[in-house]
Chains A and B, each alone.
Chain A
Amino acid sequence: MIDEMEPAPKGTDYDLYFGPAHPGSGNFGVKLKVAGEIVVSARADPGYLHRGFEKLMEYRTPIQNAVLSDRLCVLEPLNWNLVHAEAVDELMDIDVPERAKYIRVIMAELSRIQSHIIWYGVFSLGTGFDTGFKMAFGYRDYILDLFELITGGRVYPAGYICPGGVRRDFPNGARDKILKVLDKMGEMIKLEELENPALGARAKGVGILKVKDAIRLGATGPVLRGSGMKTDVRKDEPYEIYDRLDFEVPVRKEGDAYARYWIGIEEMKQSIKIIKQALKELPEGEVIDPSWKKPKLSVKIPKGEVYVRNEVARGEAAVYMVGDGGSKPYRCKIRGPDFLHMIPVLEYLLKGAQIADVPAIYWSLNICPADMDR
């Protein structure tokens, strides 16, 4: 396609800033050098949301950090809650009861479904399919009502998954409500699978990423699976109870924007399967380690270090925590998937693309600027 276009006349290059006030870009800026209709080079401009999380966590105790860890990525708060809680559990050697592990997995998978609904909605908005945007945000409210019933907050659960287990048990009737909501999600996925020809024409063959380049640039999660590599942290290194559950990992070989979008829809189906299995096998018992039931403000973190990896909706997330005998963590490094997707991968994919394809490529990577800047 690009070979057929004539090159632009000399002296007509210009700079274009695809910035934070653009309705299709989020809180992130990209500096583009454009010649005619083709992008010659791109440079990312991060830093609009930098709060310095890693040092904020050094001034607070682990139970206070559990509330702060929701806000690491605002589109999937419960998954990041889980990464931080697992790091503290492993460093301080806490035994988590069985019922708490099942509840943690159910809440994390509900949050993954909610995040993929947002991905579907904004990808449709970026390619001009307005009905998909309104429909997606209408269906997302069913899950937010469930979160309000169980944890108390629509968007931020206020540290529900804390070190030692979860804060409180399911209320009466939560189980039937979860099953009803899962039926509604199944209905929504059937509607999403009806292909819209305009979206297909804009997304197929655009933004192709091969496997070798993906590993060299550091991509993980759906971006790597869309290029053909079958890998998932829940299968390679199972945490919580994922080794007892039966689910598949969807993979596609083309590596373009349409393949990544299709993987998002398939992952929602697998999450529904996981939640139904976990609800059937849910055992009775306590939901939190007895010594952590009353929130303790002064704890003693032993000397040591851990590195915990999880699979959040966007890719691989990790926490590296160092303890030195005090009551606050000495160093807490957070590795998010978007740090790699938004700077090296985006600069590589935008080179040589047309201006009209920039939103389709940008939104197919499923970005969250808060995760990158921390």
Chain B
Amino acid sequence: MDTKETGLLDEIKSKFKVDGRVQREQRIWISTDGSKLMEVCKWLKDGGFTHLSAISATDWLKDGKYELTYHLWSYDDNILVTVKTKIDRKNPSIDSVVPVWEENAQIHERELHELFGVKFKGNPDLSPLFLEDQEDVHPFRKDFNWREHVREKFYNKENEREAVYYD
């Protein structure tokens, strides 16, 4: 069935050689390589996708990779396109998309740098956003167990009501 979404997906696939699928109407998902990310983003922005809805990161601990997702919305065609890439978990760094979407992207990348530790090359300001005096702790990684951390920091082993948590 030939719809607007399949037409757009075929155009992207023929131009950039990426993988993709149409999930339902108004949703397209594309996976690409880190080297082609900037070209795909620039082409999409010139094609009407002016609204960057969110940038997110998922921590796949077993594979040793972070997966970054960029969700883009077009006001003219009413379609949402998601672009996904994978980067290495030990030294995560990638080019920033601030030259394409300016302040909107800058604040999302600042949050991801603080919570996951991803370095964005080219972002003018990566200072801490939410946490004060707690540098070098990246709390949203999968190897940081919150329940153990809270038990050590806030509960008291001497207190008999709270000692049950230490069994």
**A–B contact (CB under 8 angstroms):** yes
Closest to A52 in B: B139
Q: Given contacts A52-B139, A236-B78, A318-B54, is CB(A216)–CB(B103) below 8 Å?
A: yes
A59, B146: Cβ atoms closer than 8 Å = yes
Chain B residues, Cβ within 8 Å of A307: 27, 71, 80, 82
A231, B56: Cβ atoms closer than 8 Å = no
Q: Within the complex, which residue of B50, B53, B59 is in contact with A318, where a contact is CB–CB below 8 Å?
A: B53
Chain B residues, Cβ within 8 Å of A236: 75, 78
Residues of B in contact with A, size category: 20 to 34
B147, A59: Cβ atoms closer than 8 Å = yes
Closest to B146 in A: A55
Stretch at the interface among A81-89, A119-127, A327-335: A327-335
B103, A218: Cβ atoms closer than 8 Å = yes
Residues of A in contact with B, size category: 20 to 34
Chain B residues, Cβ within 8 Å of A316: 53
B104, A216: Cβ atoms closer than 8 Å = yes
B130, A50: Cβ atoms closer than 8 Å = yes
Complex: how many Å from CA A340 to CA B69? Answer: 18
Interchain nearest-CB distance for A218 vs B (Å): 4
Residue among A217, A220, A333 with the highest chain B CB neighbour number at 10 A: A333
Q: Given contacts A46-B130, A54-B140, A340-B107, is CB(A231)–CB(B53) below 8 Å?
A: no
**Dominant SS among interface residues on chain A:** mixed
A218, B104: Cβ atoms closer than 8 Å = yes
Q: Within the complex, which residue of B107, B130, B147 is in contact with A373, where a contact is CB–CB below 8 Å?
A: B130
Q: Given contacts A52-B139, A216-B102, A340-B104, is CB(A333)–CB(B130) below 8 Å?
A: no
Interchain nearest-CB distance for B25 vs A (Å): 9
**Residue contacts A-B, CB under 8 angstroms, 25 given:** A52-B139, A52-B140, A52-B146, A54-B140, A55-B140, A215-B50, A216-B102, A216-B104, A217-B102, A218-B52, A218-B103, A218-B104, A231-B75, A236-B75, A318-B54, A320-B69, A320-B71, A331-B59, A333-B54, A333-B56, A335-B54, A339-B111, A344-B106, A344-B107, A348-B103
Interface residues of B (CB under 8 A from A): 26-27, 29, 50-54, 56, 58-59, 69, 71, 75, 78, 80, 82, 101-104, 106-107, 111, 129-132, 139-140, 146-147
Interface residues of A (CB under 8 A from B): 46-47, 50, 52, 54-55, 59, 215-218, 220, 229, 231, 236-237, 305, 307, 309, 316, 318, 320, 322, 330-331, 333, 335, 339-340, 343-344, 348, 373
Extra pairs beyond A305-B29, A343-B107, A348-B103 (18, CB < 8 Å): A46-B129, A50-B131, A52-B139, A54-B140, A55-B139, A55-B146, A59-B146, A59-B147, A231-B75, A237-B26, A307-B27, A307-B82, A309-B53, A318-B71, A320-B54, A320-B56, A344-B103, A344-B107
